[in-house]
Chain A
């Protein structure tokens, strides 16, 4: 109904790969590597039926298809899957996970893939930035003075930033600092 206006909106680039697939781009062990991680075990059950793509709310506005992501992982196109923004287009609505007859759990597979990408320094800069806010303030959103005043007006208890000691220890011992380090300097790219 707003055709002419929505055409002017910049659409993210479709991520359709170059065809044909070359042997050199295929890592045949990739799917086992993914299936071996927490949440990745459903991958090998995928029949590529496409029920995931059919319900995808992102797929209804751009050329993004969960089935194609799964297909690329099963094919072993490691680099194409892990590098670039395509991996970060899932909105985590879990509709595909809910509808999948094979219990592939696509959204969990996405988490596994994103964890692998993050470890290699390919995390979405926006999420890295949010993580840094959490590492500094304990939450992803800071309270402003204006908000403090509204809280007072509404009779809500004053908001204070949490004590950070335990959170810092968790982040230090979990290896999360190394992941942030691997993605250092990429926030400005966006």
Chain B
């Protein structure tokens, strides 16, 4: 299997998100899936950029897709924001012919063309549907039984399902199924599927804090070993934002480790916490790693 891959803006450049890229590369390598980085990848122009101008944003996302198309490869991404943007390109170009010709003109001015011959794919959906739970299980070497996490699918991998076409968003199960394959208990808890307010960061910081506060109270009440996030923004909110919430709302005891989804897979495949960047998160992941060690889940 061979895919083009786009990492997005945040994952390669933020300390607490580098582990997402590191774990993803290790997981894909372990599964013998070859990925080629999109050359000169630029911003996918997600929702915040679409807020300023939709047409420009579609053209910007189509630029990265055009690069994958040149290689004849579908475009995989671990970033839910990027995934949403790439899915929107094909969806919007098909739905609005006038937009299509406008975007063609813009791309033409930059010496590019995009023919909609490839699809944007989300890493987690790809692992579930193309790799398959059986193969993931066969490749695992470490049993994670005893670990209890709260899995956050995030919004932009699933909603709206009409456009993203993965699984109906109200009660998704596929990403829990993968975790449970490795023995992990994925707990149902209040607020599991609610928005983290990540897109309000930078324009309405107080509001972003208030939404996040609700999510962290929910997670705290659920008595978890850690949260597991799929979306980069979810991670920035729950991990980096946790410090703000602690201070602002006087939640001194709050300390929930927040892991990236592929980090759990990498641990099940036998990689060490250090090589998948677990030491670089804002909230210390020591508690989580300690428990793993106690369970014999880490060398």
Residues of A within 8 A of B (CB): 1-2, 5-6, 9-12, 38-39, 57-58, 60-62, 85, 88-89, 91-95, 97-98, 105, 107, 110-112, 114-115, 118, 123-131, 134, 138-144, 146-147, 150-151, 154-157, 159, 162-167, 169-176, 179, 190
Q: Give 27 pairs: A residue, B residue, CB < 8 Å, sorted on A.
A: A2-B249, A5-B250, A6-B213, A38-B55, A38-B92, A39-B54, A60-B214, A89-B200, A89-B207, A93-B155, A118-B51, A123-B51, A124-B51, A134-B49, A147-B14, A150-B15, A150-B280, A151-B18, A154-B19, A154-B275, A154-B276, A157-B37, A166-B40, A167-B60, A174-B56, A174-B59, A176-B53
| B169 cross-chain contacts in A, Cβ below 8 A | 94-95, 98
- Complex Cα–Cα for A129 and B52 (A): 11
| B202 cross-chain contacts in A, Cβ below 8 A | 126-127, 129-130
| A114 cross-chain contacts in B, Cβ below 8 A | 51-52
**Nearest Cβ on chain A to B191's Cβ, whole angstroms:** 9
- Complex Cα–Cα for A42 and B195 (A): 23
Do residues B195 and A93 form an inter-chain contact, with CB atoms below 8 A? yes
- Complex Cα–Cα for A118 and B94 (A): 25
| B42 cross-chain contacts in A, Cβ below 8 A | 134, 138-139, 162, 164, 166-167
**Nearest Cβ on chain B to A140's Cβ, whole angstroms:** 4
Given contacts A2-B250, A57-B214, A92-B199, 18 further A-B contacts (CB under 8 A): A6-B249, A12-B204, A62-B207, A89-B200, A92-B155, A98-B160, A111-B54, A124-B203, A127-B48, A130-B48, A131-B49, A134-B9, A139-B13, A139-B43, A141-B10, A143-B13, A155-B275, A169-B111
* Contacts known (A5-B249, A139-B13); A150 close to B277, Cβ less than 8 A: yes
Q: In chain A, what residue has the closest Cβ to B51?
A: A114
Report if B128 contacts A (CB, 8 A): no
Report if B174 contacts A (CB, 8 A): no
- Complex Cα–Cα for A128 and B51 (A): 10
Report if B105 contacts A (CB, 8 A): yes
Report if B112 contacts A (CB, 8 A): yes
| B13 cross-chain contacts in A, Cβ below 8 A | 139, 141-144, 147, 159
- Complex Cα–Cα for A173 and B111 (A): 12
Do residues A118 and B170 form an inter-chain contact, with CB atoms below 8 A? no
Q: How many residues of B contact A (CB 8 A)?
A: 74
| B47 cross-chain contacts in A, Cβ below 8 A | 92, 111
| B45 cross-chain contacts in A, Cβ below 8 A | 134
Do residues A170 and B60 form an inter-chain contact, with CB atoms below 8 A? yes
Do residues B195 and A91 form an inter-chain contact, with CB atoms below 8 A? yes
* Contacts known (A61-B214, A118-B53); A159 close to B12, Cβ less than 8 A: yes
Do residues B204 and A85 form an inter-chain contact, with CB atoms below 8 A? yes
Interface string of B45-77 (1 = CB under 8 A from A): 101111111111001100100000000000000
Report if B248 contacts A (CB, 8 A): yes
Report if B22 contacts A (CB, 8 A): yes
| A92 cross-chain contacts in B, Cβ below 8 A | 47, 155, 199
- Complex Cα–Cα for A140 and B214 (A): 27
Do residues B250 and A97 form an inter-chain contact, with CB atoms below 8 A? no
* Contacts known (A5-B250, A147-B13); A95 close to B18, Cβ less than 8 A: no
**Nearest Cβ on chain A to B86's Cβ, whole angstroms:** 16
Q: Which of A38, A126, A140 contacts B43 (CB 8 A)?
A: A140
Q: In chain A, what residue has the closest Cβ to B10?
A: A141
